[in-house]
Structure 1
Amino acid sequence: MITQRDALTSWSKRANGIILVVAIAILAQFLGGLFPLIGGILFAIIIGIVLKNTVGIKPAFDSGLSFVIKDLLKLAVIFLGASLNLTTIIKVGQQSILVVFISVILGIGLTFWFGKLLKLNRKLTLMIGVGTSICGATAISCVKGVLEAKDDETAYAISTIVFFNLIAFFIYPVVGHLFQLDDLSFGIWTGTAVHDTSSAVAVGLAYSNEAGEIATTVKLARTLFLLPVIIILPFLMNNRKKGSIQQSLKEAFPWFIVWFLVMSILNSIGLIPVSVQEFSNDIAKFFIIMVMAAVGMQVNLKGFAKIGIKPFLTGLFASITVSLISLFIIYLIN
């Protein structure tokens, strides 16, 4: 049982990291207002990366940064639900489900094939494939148990995902404007192809508010694909330990999606005033800026050199494959 004293101790450990992230987010939002073409989210990432790779981030900040990335992100998604209509969510879901399904299946399958071609460790290949195709570091952490992957394999997979998430933030909006994608197409593409939920939402919002809302909806639907993958993987790997599957499913179930839907239902039946919707949207966007600042502070540029060429090439192949497949299907549907 967690006592009040334990809770206070936990929050005191998080305080340093949270305060640092808030300060960076305020600065990033201010700079984003001065330079709207760059935007607050991108400024937050850049400031975070610069801090991490120059002065460094002390371990005392780790607990707070982890809280922001894992928990505050979920709260941001829930707040975004307050400005969405359930009808819109269902409509976007219907338009994107085929894109998501094909991208997930082909993404994991082709990545596994490519890793086998390079003679890369099967577990590492699958973690990169699942992470790229479904929901980034979260997916990798959840399948680690059923794959019985080693800590170094998990670290390599997550590092690869983080790197290509970072690249996506710079490339996707440029490609979107180059091909003149509308908000719906860009939102579906981002929600389908960008790895982590935080990055998918951030990239969508960097394009437009509507694209950000669509990307959030699609990304949450895509996250649910992690559940059947966790059930299927042990059979493919001949590892059918009931306990590991149950634990991974427990960790993987995204309860915050339920609250996201609850908020959208409340909004759909008119229980959330327009002023509250706008306030909720503003809070969600600021939380996303905080999340991306924390993500930037986890990017160790020197550490990427230790990944090795095979995991890097596999991650590159997976990222390009999922991106092109989803974009091609969106083009065919439209």
Structure 2
Amino acid sequence: MDRYWDNLKTYQEIFVTSIGVRILFIGLTLLCLTPLISAPIALALGIIFSLLFGNPFLQQTRRFTPKLLQFSVIGLGAGMNLAVIGHESIHGILYTLIGIILTVLLGIGFGKCLKTEPTISLLLTIGTAICGGSAIAAVAPIIRAKPHEISVALAIVFLLNACALFIFAPLGHYFGLTQIQFGFWSALAIHDTSSVVGASMQYGSQAVEIATTVKLARALWIIPVTLLIGFIWNRKRDSELVGKARFPLFIVGFILAAALVTFIPTLQASG
């Protein structure tokens, strides 16, 4: 009889703990959707939660993660005014093109030398070359990256962004860079736009202006690079669908969202 009650108590504790973990998971998820929590902090909370409690909705998150990433890329397009970006970033196109080509070549080379998992290597390379987490979110569904591969790539990119906020300005002063030089350097070397602005603000107003302009030009490459990767990667991976790479339709959504914001003034005001 005592054994029966002990087992019942154990099952009750497991049930209560499971319910509590699920409620905590949902609460943290909703909190991360608010402006109070930035993307790096949300990622850190997710990692800590997973290590402590695991994922109470593992199957559901595996099923919905690719779609959520695609919707996030469409949302990124809604924050871009193509007219403003095209006007401001025309002079930075060449610099960013050279930077992206060099970064991709170095990323591929280092990935092969270090024998890194190809998917993680590609995500890190594209995230470093273009615009950090946004580029990773755009490329991940196309190459069918697994959740843990996406998490690793995002964690590394966000960690490097956080380091850049603290070390770039002191390094710029140490090497005696002008504001123009620092603006170009930060725009080409730091991944996410928010981190580029944050680092360049510590250096001066001219550095912020240059960095923002060049970074916008760099972000524009997310469209052609994503389409190219989708074509090459799927031709390479799918032996039964050679020559029939799937077109990433969410990129069309990205372009349409950006076009709507650009040509409908009321959407710009409400955004």
Q: Same fold (TM over 0.5)?
A: yes
- Which residue of structure 2 lines up, in the alignment, with residue 198 of structure 1? 194
Which residue, 175, 187, 207 being the options, matches 1:211?
207
Is there any run of 5+ residues in structure 2 with no aligned partner, and where? 1-29, 50-73, 238-242, 266-271
The residue type paired with residue 156 of structure 1 is V
Superposed, 1:42-57 pairs within 5 Å as none
Q: Kindly tell me: are residues 260 and 191 of structure 1, through their superposed partners in 2, closer, same or farther at Cα, counting changes over 3 Å?
A: farther
Q: Using the alignment, how far apart are the partners of 2:256 and 2:196 within structure 1?
A: 16
What is the DSSP-based 3-state SS (H/G/I as helix, E as strand, rest coil) of the residue aligned with 1:145?
A: coil
Pair 1:173 & 2:169 matched: yes
Structure number with greater CO (CA < 8 Å, separation at least 6) is: 1
Which residue, 147, 152, 163 being the options, matches 1:151?
147
- Which residue of structure 1 lines up, in the alignment, with residue 251 of structure 2? 249
Do the aligned residues in 2 keep the contact of 1:220 with 1:257 (CA within 8 Å)?
A: no
C-alpha displacement at 1:215, in angstroms? Answer: 1.3
Which residue, 230, 233, 236 being the options, matches 2:232?
236
- Which residue of structure 2 lines up, in the alignment, with residue 98 of structure 1? 94
- Which residue of structure 2 lines up, in the alignment, with residue 221 of structure 1? 217
Q: Kindly tell me: are residues 262 and 242 of structure 1, through their superposed partners in 2, closer, same or farther at Cα, counting changes over 3 Å?
A: same
The residue type paired with residue 134 of structure 2 is T
C-alpha displacement at 1:255, in angstroms? Answer: 5.1
Q: Deviations over 1:4-61 (max 9, x none)?
A: xxxxxxxxx569944x46xxxxxxxxxxxxxxxxxxxxxx99xx79x969x99xxxxx
Is there any run of 5+ residues in structure 1 with no aligned partner, and where? 1-12, 22-43, 57-69, 264-334
The residue type paired with residue 250 of structure 1 is V
Q: Using the alignment, how far apart are the partners of 1:262 and 1:187 within structure 2?
A: 31
- Which residue of structure 1 lines up, in the alignment, with residue 106 of structure 2? 110
What is the DSSP-based 3-state SS (H/G/I as helix, E as strand, rest coil) of the residue aligned with 1:135?
A: coil
Do the aligned residues in 1 keep the contact of 2:230 with 2:245 (CA within 8 Å)?
A: no
Q: Deviations over 1:242-271 (max 9, x none)?
A: 54x3334236549559968999xxxxxxxx
Pair 1:129 & 2:125 matched: yes
Q: Kindly tell me: are residues 254 and 219 of structure 1, through their superposed partners in 2, closer, same or farther at Cα, counting changes over 3 Å?
A: farther
What percent of counterpart residues are identical?
31
Q: Kindly tell me: are residues 134 and 258 of structure 1, through their superposed partners in 2, closer, same or farther at Cα, counting changes over 3 Å?
A: farther
Structure 1 residue ranges, 4+ long, deviating more than 3 angstroms after superposition: 13-18, 239-243, 250-263
What is the DSSP-based 3-state SS (H/G/I as helix, E as strand, rest coil) of the residue aligned with 1:148?
A: coil
Do the aligned residues in 2 keep the contact of 1:176 with 1:186 (CA within 8 Å)?
A: yes
The residue type paired with residue 103 of structure 2 is G
Q: Kindly tell me: are residues 186 and 252 of structure 1, through their superposed partners in 2, closer, same or farther at Cα, counting changes over 3 Å?
A: farther
Do the aligned residues in 1 keep the contact of 2:231 with 2:245 (CA within 8 Å)?
A: no
What is the DSSP-based 3-state SS (H/G/I as helix, E as strand, rest coil) of the residue aligned with 1:120?
A: coil
Superposed, 1:1-334 pairs within 5 Å as 17-18=34-35, 20=36, 89=88, 93-94=90-91, 96-237=92-233, 238-239=236-237, 242-243=245-246, 245-250=247-252, 253=255
Do the aligned residues in 2 keep the contact of 1:201 with 1:212 (CA within 8 Å)?
A: yes
- CA RMSD in angstroms comes to 4.3
